[in-house]
Chain A
Amino acid sequence: MPEEETATVQSIKVDSVGDFRFPERNKFDAGRGLTEKTIDYICDVKNDPDWVRDFRKRALKVFLEKPMPTHWATKDLENIKFEDIRYYLSDGERPKRTWDEVPEDVKNTFDRLGIPEQERAFLAGVEAQYDSEAAYSNVQKAVSDQGVIFVTSADGLKDHPEIFRKWFGKVIPTADNKFSALNSAVFSGGSFIYVPPGVKVKHPLQAYFRINSENFGQFERTLIIVDEGAEVTYMEGCTAPKFETSTLHSAVVELVAMKDAKIQYITVQNWSSNVYNLVTKRGVAHENAEIRWIDCNIGSRLTMKYPGVVMKGRKARGEVISIALASDGQHQDTGAKMIHAADETSSNIVSKSISVGTGRSTYRGQVHIPKHLKGCKNNTECDALLINTNSRTDTYPAITVRGNQHATQHEASVSQVSEEQIFYMQQRGLSEAEAMSLSVNGFINDLVREFPMEYSVELKRLIDLEMEGSVG
C-alpha cells in the first residue's frame, strides 16, 4: 500500500521537514486517560518485572498528588488535558536490526528524516523510536565489540539489571517534579547506554524520536552510564507532524559520568508547534568527569527544559550550551541547573535565544554552591535577540553562593538587530530578510559551531526559513 501512504503524505500541508504522517497501525493501545489500569496495561504488554510495576504505580501516586508548578511556570500548562492523552501505542514488534526489516511506512518516515544516510555517513549506532517503542535499533559491530551496550531502555532493564537498577531513577528521583513522576509512571522507549571503562566511542550514538499518532504522549526514558575514563557523544532529534490537538512529550534523561569520563549530549528539538515538550534532564559527574549538554530548541508549543549537572566529584565540570528559537505562538522556556557538590568544580552556561513574532523565550537558571566547598566557579551568559516589536524575552536566574572561596558571574543582555547593520547589508544588495538571517546567524554562530556539521547546516536553514516571514 505504498501508494496510499504517499497519498496521505501529500494531502497534509507540509510546512517543515517533519510535518507529515502515516496511518496508525497499532496493535497495542492503552487508550485515553491515566489510571492504575493504564499502568497495568503497559506493564502487561511490556512484560515488565514486578519491581518496575511497583515503581510505576508509586510514581502515578506522586504524579497525581503533585500540583502543577504554575506558581512560577506559565499558565499554558493548565491547557494540557491529561485525560485525553494516549499513554501507550505500539505495533507490538521488536526493534528491527536491519533497515530492510523495518515496516514500509515507518521506514518512509525515517527515510524522509534522513536517518539511514546519516547512519551510513558517520553514526556508530542509531535507534529510532516511533510513538512508544523503538522501531529500529542498530549498533555498529566495532562499537559493540568494545563492550558498549546501546539498547532500548526496556531491553536494558531486562538484560542488564545489574547496571540498570543501580542508576535508574537515582539521578532524577520520581518526585523531582510532576512531569518526572508522570514519565516514571508510563515510560516506554528511550535508550540505555553503557560504555565500559576506558572506551572512547569515536562516532556519536544517535536516537530519533517520532510521534505519529494524534493525542499521543511520548514518554521515553534514557539512561546513559559512562564508566571510568570512557567517552561518548549522544545525539537525539525529535519531530512530529502537526495534529489538530496538542500532544505531550515528557522525557526523563539521566546521565552518569564516572571518574574521568566525558559525556556530550546533543539535542535538536524540532517538534511541531502544538507539542508540549516538558523534559527533565540531569547528569551526575564524578571526580574529574565532564558532562556537556548541547541543546537546541526550535519546535514545540511550550518547551520547559533545564538540563542540569550535579558535580559530585572533585574537579568535575558541567556545561550547558543552549540555543532557542521562539517563533509565533511558541514559548521556549529553557535554562540550566548547576549543582556544585564538591571542591574545585566548575560550570559554564551559555544561552542564546531569539524571539520572532509573538514568540517568547525564557531563560531560567539555578546555580548552587553550598557551604564548605572550595574553589568552585560558575560562569553564566544569556543573550537574547528580539526580532519584532511584539516579541518577548525573560531571564530568571537564581544563584546561591556560600563561602568566600568561589567565583560566580552572571551576565545577560537583550538586544535587537541594529537598523544600521540591516541598512549596511541592504546597501550591498541583500534583501531585508537575507540581511536579517545573516545577523541572526551571526548572533548564534559561536554556539552553532558546537553542533555536528549536519545539524548546524540544518539550523541555519531553519533560521533562514523563520526569518523570511518575520521582517517588516
Chain B
Amino acid sequence: MNPKTNSQQAPVLGAEAIALLERLSNAVAVSGDEGEVRAIVLEQVKPHADEVKVDALGNVLVTRKAKTKDALRIMLAAHMDEIGFMLVDEEEGGLYRFATVGGIDVRQLVGKPVWVGKQHQAGIIGARPIHLTKRDEREHSIPLDQLRIDLGLNGKAKVGDRATFATTFRQSGPSLVGKALDNRFGVATLIELLKQAPQNVDLLLAFTVQEEVGLRGVRVAAYAFAPDAAIAVDSTPAADLPMWDGSENSKFNCRLDGGPAIYVADSGTLSDPRLIRHLSQTGDELGIPYQFRQPGGGGTDAGAIHKTRSGVPSISVSVPGRYAHSAVLIGRLADWQNTFNLLHAGISRMNRVLFEQPR
C-alpha cells in the first residue's frame, strides 16, 4: 500500500471483516426472500446507528448522523439479494421443477449442488450421465424446463421456496471465493463504513431488496431518504482472462487487482461527472488504486436512485469479481480493501462545494 495512505491511517479490513463477509456469503437471500441476510445486517448495524428501520418492502434503512451541522445527506446502497431459483412445482420422488430468479445462464446449471429453503437442504441439479446420452444431445445445453432440483427422497420443500448454489465461502491466498459475493461485498462494505463512519456527512445506508429482478427495493429506499447524492456499492464482472486466440481482450469490463471499478456509464445511469472526478481525484491524491469500468450494459441500484424525486447526483463503485452470476465468484481482498478505502476517503472529503462545481 502507498505510504501516503498509511499516513492517513486508512482503516483495514481485517480478520473480523472477512469473517463477516463469510457469514454474509454463506447466507441465502434470493430476491424477495432476503430475511437471512437482513438479520445479519440488523445485528451488525444496531450498535453503530442513530436510526434503523425496515421499510415496507424489506429494505434496511440506516441513518448515522454527522457531527457537523448542515451536513450533506449521502446515500449508499448495496443490495442484499442474490440470484437463485424458486421451486415452482413438486413432482414425485423429491424432484422439483424450478424457475430462475435474476440473471442466470441456464447452460451453467447442470451438475450443480444447491441449497434449498430456509434449512439449506442439500439438492442437486442433475442430468443423465454421459453413458446414456448420444453425441448430438451433448452438443446442446439442456433447457430449463427439462431440469429438476433433486432433493432426494427425504427432502421436503414446498412450492415458492428459494434455492441457491451450494458454495461455501473460502479465502484462498489473495482471493475471496464464494457465492453471492455479488453483492455481499457491497453489504459488508456498507457495514464496515458504518463502523468507521466519516463524521462529516449524514450517512444514509440502504441495504436493499430485489435488485436482481429490477432495482425494485432501492426505488422506495431512495424516495424515503431523499438524499443530496448517492453511491451504489456493488460487484461487477471481471472478464479479464486472456483471449483464446491471443488477440487483445478489449471487452474485459474490469480487471481483478485493478482496484475499485468506478462507473462512468452503464445501461441505467450516466454517473454524475463531479462524482467521477471527485472519486478519481481522491484515488490519485491518496494513492488508492482504482479503475474505470468499461462503459456499456449492466446496471446497479444507482439506475433507480438518480431519477428519484427531483433527481439525485449518483455514481456506482464496484468490487471486481470473476464469474459473476454463477455458482462462484472470485474477488480479491486487495480490491475490496481499496474499494472500502476509496469510499471512506471519498465520503470524508465531500462537502457542498463539490456540488456547486460545474459538471
> Do A and B actually bind?
no
Please give the residue numbers on chain A whose beta carbons come within 8 Å of chain B beta carbons, in ascending order: none
